[in-house]
Structure 1
Amino acid sequence: MNVIVLGGGLMGTASAYFLARRGLKVTLIERNRVGSGATVASFGNIRRSGRYLPQLPLAYRSLCLWREAEAMLGQDVEFRPTGHLRLVFGETGLASMRSFSDAARPWGLVLEELDVRDVRSRFPGVGPSAIGASFSAEDGSGNPRLISPAFATAARRLGAEIVEQAEVGAITNSASGFHVATTKGQFSGEVLLNTAGVWGAQIAARFGEAVPIEARGPQMGVTEPLPHRILPVLGVWGGDGTEGYLRQVERGNIVFGGGVERTHVPLDPGHARADPASLSQQLRMLLPLLPALAKVSVIRTWSGCEGYVADGLPIMGPSATTPGLFHAFGFSGHGFQLGPGVGDVMAELIALGQTETPLHDFRIERFLQTAC
């Protein structure tokens, strides 16, 4: 079976790797460079807390693959299971944390609830005004700049063809399969996997499947190195006026995001830019998490083009209109942790016709039914 994968972000490269590992012939087509879209804009958060509950089986499957990533791909992609500490700053956040924790337990996620003394003693210098937190010890972070190229390189070693800087033109479907015209030539396959991020909706629309999606860009930044060490990724249980997230990398720099509105991004050319005017507001929102940010310099900011589906959930699974067409796009800013699992699940679904991981809530049919 020949499979064409459209889109070379984390979802596409992971899918190409797992498809090739199952013995399928794979051609991945990317309009720019592998990993240059939404993936590289990611914060690098590998978390399960706060997720849509039916997404947790996929998140757990993906976490298991993150643990294996270095051995599997032959490269350190900087997965660090440092834990995920989510701070609480008021009663609304406390209620949100406890409600999620209770609901997630039957799905296999057990969060440790910390009180004020726990936070102070275990994580000094973090969240001085926090009234508590949740802690998920097995979660952590990875490097968004390394993971997609690592999957692409590993897929290539297994025989996959990786075609970069190829603009996609006409896509036709016949009894023999799919035919994709690009600026780098013609490609054919019995199966077409759409992992084109926010542009995935345009691919789906060619086959009569409309998805309400917006292109938006997060504002990310990194500071100069700091001498102290913050091991876990920091986030917030929302609703009490404090937002944002941050982590400290091994070199000492603080990577941060959130706290400001994501910018709207035109799909053509799809380049997202950070807004320097909002940087001071963003840093103010982050100070309750880490007061030390008041005295450091920001050395770089960036953004990227992410696809946000109207209901906040991704599109995953087979097409509702076209046999042989599959979708995995629209992860709405929550896809980095899921990436390896998405690739494994889509390869399983394409190769075997079914998957053990539930995808029902992510079917593209949910929008076709709404339109009717």
Structure 2
Amino acid sequence: MTSHVTTDINSGPKRLSADVLIIGGGIVGTSAALALAKAGRKVVLLERDLCGSRSSGINYGGVRRQGRSVSQLPLAQRAHRIWEGLSDLIGIDGEYVRSGHFKLARSAADMQALEAYAELSKPFGLGIELISGERLRQQCPWLGGAVVGGSLCPEDGQANPRLVSPAFAQAAQRAGAHIIERCEVREAGYDGTAFSVRAELNTGEGRQSLQVRAAALINCAGAWAGKLAEAFGETVPMFSGHPNMAVTEPIPHFLPWSLGVEGGSIYCRQVSRGNVVLGGGRGYAQDENRARSSHDAILALLPQAVDLLPALRHVHIIRTWSGVEGYLPDRQPILGASSTQDGLFHGFGFCGAGFQIGPAAGEVLADLVMHGRSDIPIDAFSIRRFQSTLPVADFNLASEPERKIQ
């Protein structure tokens, strides 16, 4: 995977200044960079690896609103409008299609839960259709007999994260953002007048120190964002999760919708080339930065897939993968202003479900930087919900020494 973002730091200064510094080149950070650069702000974005190569590039590729908590639906609706104009925004379609997202029920209790969600989400205009009984068998002859019904959100869909996420970085760069890949942050702090970050750039021929100063800092560092937040006195109970993913050989097209299951356990979609992308269970960490799919989890996933989709019987798996995602105990992201430091904003902890809402989260962060507010309600995502420290009014950063992340 490569983002094809060019980094020409060797021909420039080792010290950079910016209006806004963004740490993390996933879909949230790069969409924020794009919005800010288009608004004329001077933006520097630092990415430790390649833009879109971490959770934004290894996820399932579902572009769904259905199933999200009600607090996330305003954000998801804003993202829905962004996805509609994706090609104009980033220059490629990213294999984005509004194929529909169908959530399956395997019991009467599951179906009742889907009915309740359809009612709860009505004010947001998702257009959910409940399908069961004879209509289910007529409309979905490809389903196995264990399914009793489902909930269809016809305008939800799917895309290729390996194309979409790097393309946001490319679009941000074209808009004027300075994107620097293979650049790892070593220290970060606030010196009383600006944010100051020391990073180390891997040039391919060695390592080069880089200093960046900026009036505002956006923390989009994914599963590692908690360390950066902690450097500013904000401790969050984030932990890593590792999706367990697989893809089949191409087979004749039979699956019209992206699928999920009420209560979780498995999800799948078929791409235009005929391959079926499957996910379920958990991979395992090799170290802090790398993960692999689990052999046992893959073996547990396959019988479930065949039960739901008999067409997958005897189909070959050609690749499996995993990655590192950031999770929070309440399965809600952190999105908004710091509770301890003016000018610092957070966008992380999307719990494996950030691909669809990522572009909207980035735009919200840009709104906060430029205007100090957002039209999208984000109080539910405040980092304050994890804080037991003094109120921000009682926290005088000017009298504190510079905080650093080591």
TM-score interval for Structure 1 and Structure 2 normalised by the shorter chain:
over 0.9
Residue 331 of structure 1 aligns to a residue in which SS? coil
| 1:334 partner SS | coil
Q: Which consecutive segments of 4 or more residues in structure 1 shift more than 6 A?
A: none
Query: Which residue does 2:278 correspond to in 1?
Result: 256
Residue correspondence of structure 1 range 215-234 to structure 2 within 5 A: 215-234=240-259
Per-residue CA distance 1:55-81 (angstroms, 9 max, x = gap):
000001001111111111111211100
- 1:280 has 2:302 as partner: no
Instruction: Output the CA distance in 2 between the equivalents of 1:370 and 1:114.
Output: 49
1:69-80 aligned at under 5 Å gives the runs: 69-80=86-97
In our comparison, the structure showing a higher alpha carbon Rg is 2
The match for 1:247 among 269, 285, 294 is: 269
Residue identity over aligned pairs, in percent, reads 41
Q: Which amino acid aligns with 2:29?
A: G
- Any idea what SS the aligned residue of 2:291 has? coil
Q: Conserved in 1, the CA contact under 8 Å of 2:66 and 2:156?
A: no
C-alpha distance in 2 between matches for 1:221 and 1:107: 33
Mapped pair 1:335 → 2:354: yes
Cα RMSD after superposing both structures: 1.6
Question: Which position in structure 1 is the counterpart of 2:45?
Answer: 28
1:1-372 to 2 correspondences below 5 Å: 2-184=19-201, 185-238=210-263, 243-258=265-280, 260-264=281-285, 266-267=287-288, 270-369=289-388
How far apart, in 2, do the equivalents of 1:2 and 1:138 lie? 37
Q: 1:98 to 1:265 in 2, by over 3 A?
A: farther
Q: Secondary structure at the match of 1:287?
A: helix
**CA 1:347/1:297 → structure 2, altered by over 3 Å: closer, same or farther?**
same
Once the two structures are superposed, what CA deviation does each residue of 1:42-98 show, in whole Å capped at 9, x if it has no partner?
000011111111100000100111111111111121110000011111022112101
Rounded to whole Å, the distance in 1 between the matches of 2:149 and 2:301 is 22
Superposed displacement of residue 41, structure 1: 1.6
Mean Cα deviation higher: 82-91 or 114-123 = 114-123
Any conservation in 1 of the 2:223–2:325 contact (CA below 8 Å)?
yes
Alignment TM-score, normalising by the size of structure 2: 0.87
CA distance in 1, matches of 2:275, 2:351: 26
1:148-195 deviation per Cα after TM superposition (whole angstroms, max 9, x unaligned): 211111111111000000111111212321111011311111000000
Distance in 1, matches of 2:120 and 2:199, equals 47
**Would the aligned equivalents of 1:216 and 1:265 in 2 still touch at CA under 8 Å?**
no
Deviations 1:246-301 (A, max 9, x none): 0000000000101x24535642xx10111123211111122232112221000000
The letter of the residue matching 2:382 is R
- The one-character-per-residue Cα deviations of 1:102-123 (angstroms, maximum 9, x if unpaired) are 1111233331011132222222
Residue segments in structure 1 that go unaligned for 5+ positions in a row: none
- Greater CA deviation, 48-57 or 117-126? 117-126
C-alpha distance in 2 between matches for 1:46 and 1:171? 34
For 1:116 and 1:43, how far apart are their aligned partners in 2? 29
